[in-house]
Amino acid sequence: MASVNKVILVGHLGKDPEVRYLDNNVSVCSFPFATSETYTKDGVRIKHTEWHNIVMWRNLAEMAVKYLQKGKLAYIEGRLRTRNYEDKEGTRRYVTEIVGESFKLLGRPSDFGQTGKSTSSEEEKHDGGKDEEVDFSENDGDVDGLPF
């Protein structure tokens, strides 16, 4: 039986994506990503924020650095990956991160610096805050075999 490793998140960037280049000029970017939920406990409204480590590779990393910014709302699809390493003291550490395979910018056109489109209909000029999406998908293969 096949298995599924799929993560879908909608939230806000905690920092601007940081890019670095590995051997053969392979680009990788990473950034923290926050998702929040609100619930009521004993009559008190509580907001819980969960932080996720996002990693994107190659062309998708380049697009993320270009388009994603701290605080922006985004939709991210990817897969969960856990890696381990030894720290300076020789202790084995484990890191769980989401390897992003695609993302969409979410929000109003004004969130992206657009002035809006020219229309003749008053209804189209005032869209009531309709959200727009910009889609970015990984299209240059798998990252297996690359160092994490």
Give the CB-side neighbour count of residue 74, counting CA atoms within 13 A. Answer: 30
pLDDT in tens, 42-71: 999 999 999 999 999 999 999 999 999 999
pLDDT of amino acid 104:
95
Please enumerate in sequence order all residues whose Cβ is within 8 A of that of 138, keeping only pairs 6 or more positions apart, or say none: 56, 57, 58, 59, 60, 100, 101, 102
* CA atoms of 78 and 114, how far apart (whole Å): 28
Domains and CATH numbers, the chain: 7-109 (2.40.50.140)
Centroid of chain to Cα 144: 20
Q: Looking at the chain, which runs of residues are DSSP E strands?
A: 7-13, 18-21, 27-41, 44-57, 73-86, 92-107, 132-137
Q: Which residues of 10-28 are buried (b: 16+ CB within 10 A; e: fewer)?
A: ebbbbeebebeeeeeeebb
Q: What is the pTM of this model?
A: 0.73
Flag whether pLDDT at 26 surpasses 50: yes
